[in-house]
Amino acid sequence: MGLAMKQFLFIAVCLTVAPALVSAQTPTGTITGTIRYTGIIPPSQRITLTDGQILIHNDVVVHKKSKGLRDAAVLLDWTGKVPVNPKLKPVLIDQRDMVFLPRVVTIQQGRKVRFENNDIFNHGVSAQSILGENSFNLTTPPGRGFEHTFKAQANPIPIGCVLHSWMRAYVIVRPHPYHAVTDADGTFRIANVPAGKHTLWLLHPDTNYRETIMVNVIGNKTVDLAITWGKLKK
């Protein structure tokens, strides 16, 4: 092999390896925060179930003391490629007590979602999307489940049950792992975020209220955000 060819191969290998090394060495930080809702909470719905029981439901769930808003999605606007961790277990969405639990999940493309039915009734799982990969309608008998891999898309994927119209959930799929959903206290945490200035998308799927904020992530540090919404517009 000639000298010129050896030099070419050396350069080619360096160009191939360099991006991975830079990615591995990029400093990362953590984003934490709380989303509070101080506006008017709509009246709860009284839903009569098939067995006659009454289900009390509200699309806007707020902690009584902290005013933390549950089931809001926090999504980093990130365009870089991040391989999915093959060791991660599927994200579980359960059908229990005639509702989907949890109501909102965020997931990286390539990681599976597992739907289970732990009720004593038959249920269905339907997904609605303009993408064929994210559209289906299946029956889930008691004690049964199935797994599905969704494709990343801009908007949440509504999940429903054709047998029980009040049952609803949302799957939000991104090509990266930098996202979270607020818990019962309205808090969230996103770890291993590449350092730098980023845009965060904030979304409440049930009301379709959306907002963007800027955040500056510093390596090996945590930035804590306090976000307050006074109204939720559809």
pLDDT one-digit tens code per residue, 182-222: 999 999 999 999 999 999 999 999 999 999 999 999 999 99
Cα dihedral across residues 104, 71, 130, 178: positive or negative: negative
- Given a cut of 80, is residue 104 above it in pLDDT? yes
Q: How far apart are CA 173 and CA 30, in angstroms?
A: 20
pLDDT band of 16, cuts 50, 70, 90: very low
- Given a cut of 70, is residue 4 above it in pLDDT? no
Torsions phi, psi for 173 (to 5 deg): -115, 130
Query: Is there a contact between 70 and 184 (Cβ–Cβ < 8 Å)?
Result: yes
For residue range 156-189, list pLDDT tens digits in order.
999 999 999 999 999 999 999 999 999 999 999 9
Write the DSSP string, 68-105: BBSS-EEEE---S-----TTPPPEEEEEETTEEESSEE
Query: Is there a contact between 160 and 7 (Cβ–Cβ < 8 Å)?
Result: no
Query: Is there a contact between 94 and 77 (Cβ–Cβ < 8 Å)?
Result: no
- Mean pLDDT, rounded, for 7-21: 37
pLDDT band of 65, cuts 50, 70, 90: very high
Amino acid identity at 7: Q
Domains observed in the chain: 28-78+179-234 (2.60.40.10), 86-177 (2.60.40.420)
| 61: nearest Cα among 175, 192, 207, 180 | 207
| 172: nearest Cα among 127, 232, 233 | 127
Q: How far is CA 214 from the centre of its chain?
A: 19
